[in-house]
Structure 1
Amino acid sequence: MKILVIHQVPYRKMSYHLGLDHERHDVTYIGYPQRMADLPAGLRCRRIVLTEGEDLVEGVTARTRADDGYEKVLSLSEFGILEAWHVRRHLGLDGPSLEQIERVRDKVSMKRALADSGIRYPRFEEAPAPCDALPWTGRTVIKPRQGASSEGVTVHDTAREALTAYWKLENRFDVQLEEYVDGDILHIDGLVSDGAVVDMVVSKYINKPVEYLAGAPLGSHQIPDPGGRFHTFAQQVVTALGVDSGCLHLEVFDTAEGELVFLEVANRMGGAGVVNAHLRHTGVHLPSHEIALRLGLERPAADRPTGRYHGWLAVPGHHLHPAAGHTITVPDALRRHPGIDALYVLADDQPLPDHVTYHEWLVPVFIEASHGDPQELEAFLRACARSITVEPAPAARPVTAGG
């Protein structure tokens, strides 16, 4: 099979070789220089490097033709799904329709598609008129219609305050207003095969993704699904949105009353520590299995599960001055804890990240942990979130008034 891979996610996250036999298939990778540089040197493939800053679709279509013989286009990034649709059209290949793609990328389209499903979702407004009030009064979220990692999301105490902030935005046509929902935030990860949710795992966030933007640690830990309550909900969402194949990353509120409320969904693998945690808990390497599903290949054999619940915690640094010389403190008791599976600590001479990221090799501290009891795992990760600190270099600390 001749396959064109739009390479956007770091190779160490994807490990394409685990799900794609490069000796058997004719594989071409195309992408920007920094990403293409992380392809293993010995990987049997063709490599096409785009110009930095070049439009992705224009760059790919300028370097490929319908008669090149490509049979499949593979793009597993949140930011490449729509672009891959344009590339498939250019090459004359079948794939998900534009409407299907919008239902798993655009936060307004996905909620509209749930309107008659019986699934609860937050009330929202995509384009209020200048004199309109919102149909709710309490806490309100402004968020981009597309995107990931909660970038651009703001929370306001009242609907009136949110509207005031909305009308000051230059890009307000690219955002929506949404009522705030109280409750734990869960993420449900797995695969969709012929419209059925399989190999699914439920995890509960430690802190909220939007809080990570302001500098709070973010993590999650796996929890059981007694009676299949979460699986039933995930299947209802997948069916209502017409998701047919690939990875599923579904975020859901679990309210104090025990009601599940849809937050958003993506037809791709989860970020941060999701892939490793999923692999250890289920034996299923999500990227490899998604590759097989997308290409119509036989799914790889699963590894042996650990029999434990797994989780992760990322301590951010993007909100601090990026200069090197920072001080990271991880208490010795945490370093020696038997629940630690992996601990990544940024070296003092490495700069802090200057953008929002969850990659373990970029953030100041990243922890992978596990335990036989999900409550004990949660308690440990929360202790880590409370006790690990990151201080910027002294010269980078902000000057206070009179100081």
Structure 2
Amino acid sequence: MKILVLHQLPYRKAGYDRAIDHRRHDVTYAGHADRLADLPEALPARRLPVPADEDFAAGVIARTSPADGYEAVLSLSEFGVLAVCRVRGHLGLPGPTPEQAELSHDKVRMKQALAGSGIRTPRFSAAPARDALLPWSGATVLKPRRGTCSEGVSVFPSARRALAAHRALAEPQAYELEEYVDGDILHTDGLVQGGVLVHSVTSRYVGKPADYAAGIPLGSHQLPPDERYEDLARRTVAALGIDWGTVHLEFFETAGNELVFLEVANRMGGAGVVDAHLRHTGVHLPSHEIALRLGLPRPVPDTPSGRYHGWLVVPGHHLPADRPHTAALPAHLMDHPCADRIHILPPGTPAARHITYQEWLVPLAVEASHPDPAALRAYLHACAEAAAIPCEEAA
């Protein structure tokens, strides 16, 4: 098979070689120079550079043709959701249209599509009239309709203040207003085959993604199977017409045990989700997604660990550039029975200046596990409190 890969994720996260035999298939990786540089030097595949100052999809289209004979185009990145549709269309290959892809990419479109499904969503407004008020008055979230890592998300104490902030934006049409839902945030990660959710695991966040953007540690840990969570994921997949690949669904669980949809993506979760999922279930999500999308046999799962797994990342993007910080944990947490791996930046190494969950780019990241999810949660909370960077240091 001749395969074109839109390479926008770190190779170590994607693990293409777990699913694709590069000596059997003719594979080309298209990407910016920095991303192509992380491909293994000995990987038997073509490289198609795209200048960083060009629109990525347009750059790939300009350098490819239907005559090239590609049989499949693959993208595992949130940033490639629409690009892969454009490239596929250019090459004359079948697949979801941009309009279909938007249902698991645009936070307004996905909630609109869930209307009438019986799945509760927060109230929201995409384009409020200049003189109108929102139909709720309490705490309100202002966030981009597209994007990842909660970048650009703000929470306001009232709808009126959020509405004023929305009206002051240079591009208000790129944002939405959403009522704040009080509760824990959970995420379900799994695989979809032919429109059916065939495998999933649900985890509960430690902290909240929007707070991570403000410099607060974020983590999550896996939970035992719960039919309520699995049912929500199945219904969401069906309502949005997600057909193939991985799915990352986020939702609230309120104090009254009500489940409220937050957002969904037709791609794998970030941070430590893939590694935790692999150890708990033996399933490597990206390589199984690759196999599903290319019509290849799914890899044989590894042996599950028999433990619940979790992760925690301590951000550094908010730190002053001239004062690199290496976070640390006290000895009793470093040597704790839950601790599997602790990643710490070498002294003097600056953290990434952009919002990221990659363990090699943040001051500290923790991988942990335990047979009891409650014990694991307590450990991750303790790590978050111990490693949080004081506000005065980040100022």
Deviation at 1:349, TM superposition (A): 2.1
Kindly indicate whether the alpha-carbon contact (under 8 Å) linking 1:141 and 1:178 is maintained by their aligned counterparts in 2: yes
Residue 306 of structure 2 is aligned to residue 307 of structure 1: yes
2-side partners of 1:397 and 1:277: how far apart?
A: 29
Name the structure 1 match of 2:126: 126
TM-score for the superposition, normalised by structure 2: 0.98
Code of the aligned partner of 2:144: P
Deviation at 1:235, TM superposition (A): 0.3
Kindly indicate whether the alpha-carbon contact (under 8 Å) linking 2:188 and 2:202 is maintained by their aligned counterparts in 1: yes
Name the structure 2 match of 1:387: 386
Kindly indicate whether the alpha-carbon contact (under 8 Å) linking 2:86 and 2:98 is maintained by their aligned counterparts in 1: no
Structure 1 unaligned segments of length 5 or more: list them.
399-403
Residue 98 of structure 2 is aligned to residue 106 of structure 1: no
2-side partners of 1:52 and 1:212: how far apart?
A: 27
Name the structure 1 match of 2:92: 92
Kindly indicate whether the alpha-carbon contact (under 8 Å) linking 1:329 and 1:389 is maintained by their aligned counterparts in 2: no
Name the structure 1 match of 2:204: 204
1-side partners of 2:326 and 2:26: how far apart?
A: 47
Name the structure 1 match of 2:246: 247
Code of the aligned partner of 2:86: H
Kindly indicate whether the alpha-carbon contact (under 8 Å) linking 2:120 and 2:261 is maintained by their aligned counterparts in 1: yes
Deviation at 1:388, TM superposition (A): 1.5
Code of the aligned partner of 1:315: V
Match of 1:29, SS state, is strand
2-side partners of 1:357 and 1:210: how far apart?
A: 13
Name the structure 1 match of 2:58: 58
Match of 1:319, SS state, is coil
Name the structure 1 match of 2:361: 362
Deviation at 1:391, TM superposition (A): 7.0
Residue 263 of structure 2 is aligned to residue 264 of structure 1: yes
1-side partners of 2:62 and 2:321: how far apart?
A: 37
2-side partners of 1:270 and 1:90: how far apart?
A: 28
Kindly indicate whether the alpha-carbon contact (under 8 Å) linking 1:199 and 1:282 is maintained by their aligned counterparts in 2: no
Deviation at 1:397, TM superposition (A): 7.0
Name the structure 1 match of 2:162: 162
Name the structure 2 match of 1:32: 32
> How many correspondences in the alignment?
395
2-side partners of 1:325 and 1:247: how far apart?
A: 36
Code of the aligned partner of 1:27: V
Kindly indicate whether the alpha-carbon contact (under 8 Å) linking 2:108 and 2:145 is maintained by their aligned counterparts in 1: yes
Tell me the C-alpha RMSD between the 2 structures. Answer: 1.4
Name the structure 2 match of 1:401: none
1:328-355 superposed Cα distances (whole Å, 9 cap, x missing partner): 3321111111211111001112112111
Residue 280 of structure 2 is aligned to residue 274 of structure 1: no
TM-score for the superposition, normalised by structure 1: 0.96
1:207-245 superposed Cα distances (whole Å, 9 cap, x missing partner): 10010111110000001123x111111001111111111
Deviation at 1:161, TM superposition (A): 0.8
Deviation at 1:327, TM superposition (A): 4.4
Name the structure 2 match of 1:292: 291
Match of 2:79, SS state, is coil
Deviation at 1:55, TM superposition (A): 1.3
Kindly indicate whether the alpha-carbon contact (under 8 Å) linking 1:329 and 1:390 is maintained by their aligned counterparts in 2: no
Kindly indicate whether the alpha-carbon contact (under 8 Å) linking 2:328 and 2:344 is maintained by their aligned counterparts in 1: no
Name the structure 1 match of 2:337: 338
Kindly indicate whether the alpha-carbon contact (under 8 Å) linking 1:330 and 1:389 is maintained by their aligned counterparts in 2: no
Deviation at 1:323, TM superposition (A): 3.2
Residue 10 of structure 2 is aligned to residue 13 of structure 1: no
2-side partners of 1:159 and 1:229: how far apart?
A: 31
2-side partners of 1:190 and 1:248: how far apart?
A: 5
Deviation at 1:324, TM superposition (A): 5.5
Deviation at 1:89, TM superposition (A): 1.0
Deviation at 1:325, TM superposition (A): 4.7
Match of 1:306, SS state, is coil
2-side partners of 1:397 and 1:152: how far apart?
A: 19
Name the structure 2 match of 1:69: 69
Match of 1:155, SS state, is strand
Kindly indicate whether the alpha-carbon contact (under 8 Å) linking 1:7 and 1:31 is maintained by their aligned counterparts in 2: yes
2-side partners of 1:235 and 1:61: how far apart?
A: 35
Code of the aligned partner of 1:225: P
Deviation at 1:298, TM superposition (A): 1.0
2-side partners of 1:199 and 1:87: how far apart?
A: 29
1-side partners of 2:325 and 2:27: how far apart?
A: 42
Aligned in 2, Cα 1:345/1:246: closer, same or farther, shift over 3 Å? same
Name the structure 2 match of 1:321: 320
Match of 1:80, SS state, is helix
User: Share of identical aligned residues, percent?
Assistant: 58
Kindly indicate whether the alpha-carbon contact (under 8 Å) linking 2:192 and 2:247 is maintained by their aligned counterparts in 1: yes
Match of 1:128, SS state, is coil
Code of the aligned partner of 1:121: T
Match of 2:299, SS state, is coil
